[in-house]
Amino acid sequence: MSSRIGISCLQEAKRVAIFGGTHGNEMSGITLVNMWTQNSAEIERNGLVVKPFISNPRAVEKCTRYIDTDLNRAFTPENLSTPEVEGLPYEVQRAKEINRMFGPKGSSNAYDVIFDLHNTTSNMGSTLILESSTDLFNLQMVHYIKKAMAPHTCSVLLNEHPQLKYSTTRSVAKHPIGLEVGPQPQGVLRSNVFESMRTILKHALDFLELFNSGVEFPPCTVDVFRVQERMDYPRDTNGNITAMVHPHLQDCDWEPLNRGDPMFLTFDGRTILYEGANTVYPTFINEAAYYEKQQAFMTTCREILAANAIRKAFK
């Protein structure tokens, strides 16, 4: 990577994929990908090839999150490196296949950018998910998208936590971006959520086209929410939850949670308070799919990330 002072020159982003249906019941991405597979006009841009792709077709067919195991947790080095063996869970087989088609993960042949489209039952609005605080390309893209969406808010979630980050489907690409839009129930297509996701992708592809055409993007900062902690529901000895997200916390994604604020409400009406020392910013509050992952919400802290100017590297 050559550089002039302050400007990072990065490889052009030629091979781009849009994944829908990583979770078979998150309808916005599934619908968009199917629509663009039929008619790709909307996603065509000069200087790049954009491939719409259904990552978990069997789960999509059944309108369920996954068949055997969560595809979006399946791209571990272990899974990806095991030799082909019969009897692997469907999603592990699928992960290997996706790694072959769009990776291999970590290699120079991997796709440049993968957008992985998700919905959440949490009131997160439009959210972009980053896995690295040092991926300048992604930071600039996210900055561009946020500006283009304004005044519509687009939050940025950074999951760089050593224990809590996970091996996502998109992680086979050089520049993985997660799109998470909610609230939307599983199995439901809401027009406003659908159109928001569509708009985010429009701006993202515009950015890629501009970048590939040689446009220089000046230094920028990006406000992000960095993942801190996973908070589980109170549970009994059998593992059943004994309380719900408190009504005062429900739907309050990205809003400050302070010590002494209500956090959970037991089924018989008792309030449990947040006891943490510092103010946190909860997200993924009451996501349906996370009950089984022992997560009522995630706590985050606010951070400002800085990004150098970038432009496409000359050949």
Partner 1 sequence: MALVSDSGHLIAFALHIQPQMRIQMTCVPLALEVGPQPHGVVRADIYMIMKEAVDLTIDWIHKFNSGTVFEGGDVEAFKFIKSVDYPRDPETRTLTAAIHPQLQDRDFCLLKRGDPLFFKFSGETVKYEEDETLHPFFINEAAYYEKGIAFHLAKKLMLTIPTVQMALVFLPALARMAVTGGTHGNEMSGVYVVQEMERQRKEKGEGAWPIPVTTVLSNPRAVKECRRYVETDMNRCFNTDTLSSPITDSSPYEVRRAQELNKLMGPKGSKDAIDLICDLHNTTSNMGLTLIHYTSSDWTKITKVPVRVLVLDIPISDAYSLESVSKHGFSIEVGPQPQGVVRADIYMIMKEAVDLTIDWIHKFNSGTVFEGGDVEAFEFIKSVDYPRDPETRTLTAAIHPQLQDRDFCLLKQGDPLFLSFSGETVKYKEKEPLHPFFINEAAYYEKGIAFHLGKKMMLTVPKVQVQKD
- If phi > 0 it is left, if psi is from -120 to 50 it is alpha, else beta; for residue 63 that is left
180 is catalytic: yes
Q: Which of 77, 101, 223, 291 binds partner 1 (CB under 8 A)?
A: 291
Place of tokens 């919400």: 297
The position carrying tokens 């990065």 is: 10
End-to-end CA distance of the chain: 11
Scan residues 128-187 and list those touching partner 1 (CB under 8 A): 183-187
Near partner 1 by CB under 8 A: residue from 191, 237, 238, 240: 191
Among 289, 298, 305, 307, binds partner 1 (CB under 8 A): 289
Among 250, 272, 276, 308, binds partner 1 (CB under 8 A): 250
Residue ranges in 266-285 that form contacts with partner 1 under rule CB under 8 A: 267
Residue from 222, 224, 245, 257 touching partner 1 (CB under 8 A): that is: 245
The correct pick among 189, 272, 301, 309 for binding partner 1 (CB under 8 A) is 189
Binding mask 202-241 for partner 1 (x = CB under 8 A): ---------------------------------------x
The count of other CB atoms within 10 Å of the CB of residue 189 is: 14
Write the CB contacts of 27 (distance below 8 Å, at least 6 apart in sequence).
119, 184, 187, 188, 189, 194
Interface with partner 1 includes 199 (CB under 8 A)? no
Q: In angstroms, rounded to a whole number, what is the distance separating the alpha carbons of residues 158 and 220?
A: 17
Residue tagged active-site, from 12, 26, 131, 180:
180
Contacts (CB under 8 A) with partner 1, residues 74-113? none
Residue count, binding to partner 1 (CB under 8 A): 30
State the DSSP code for 304: E
Answer yes or no whether residue 127 interacts with partner 1 by CB under 8 A.
no
Residue 203 tokens, joined: 């701006």
Distance CA 67, CA 59 (A): 6
Distance between alpha carbon 167 and the CA centroid of its chain, in Å?
11
CB 55 within 8 A of CB 169: yes
Any contact of residue 192 with partner 1 (CB under 8 A)? Answer: yes
* Least distance between partner 1 and beta carbon 287 (Å): 8
Binding window for partner 1 (CB under 8 A); candidates: 77-85, 168-176, 219-227, 245-253: 245-253
How far apart are alpha carbons 188 and 109 in whole angstroms? 36
For partner 1, the binding residues in 58-77 under the rule CB under 8 A are 63
Residues 6+ away with beta carbon under 8 Å from 8: 1, 136, 308, 309, 310, 311
Tokens 């978990």, residue located:
56
* Least separation in angstroms between CB 39 and partner 1: 9
Task: Using the rule CB under 8 A, give the single segment among 91-99, 147-155, 287-295, 301-309 that binds partner 1.
Answer: 287-295
Q: How many CA atoms lie within 13 A of 289 on its CB side?
A: 23
Sheet holding 271-273, edge to edge: 243-245, 262-266, 271-273
Q: Which of 190, 196, 210 is nearest to 149 (CA)?
A: 196
Q: Is 247 in the site for partner 1 (CB under 8 A)?
A: yes
Q: Is 57 a binder of partner 1 (CB under 8 A)? A: no
Contact at 8 Å (CB) between 292 and 302? no
288 touches partner 1 (CB under 8 A): yes
Min CB(232)–partner 1 separation in Å: 14
Among 8, 79, 121, 155, binds partner 1 (CB under 8 A): 121
Q: Which of 7, 9, 11, 35 binds partner 1 (CB under 8 A)?
A: 35
Q: Which residues are catalytic?
A: 180
Name the site residues for partner 1 (rule: CB under 8 A): 31, 34-35, 63, 121, 183-192, 194-195, 241, 244-247, 250, 265, 267, 286-289, 291
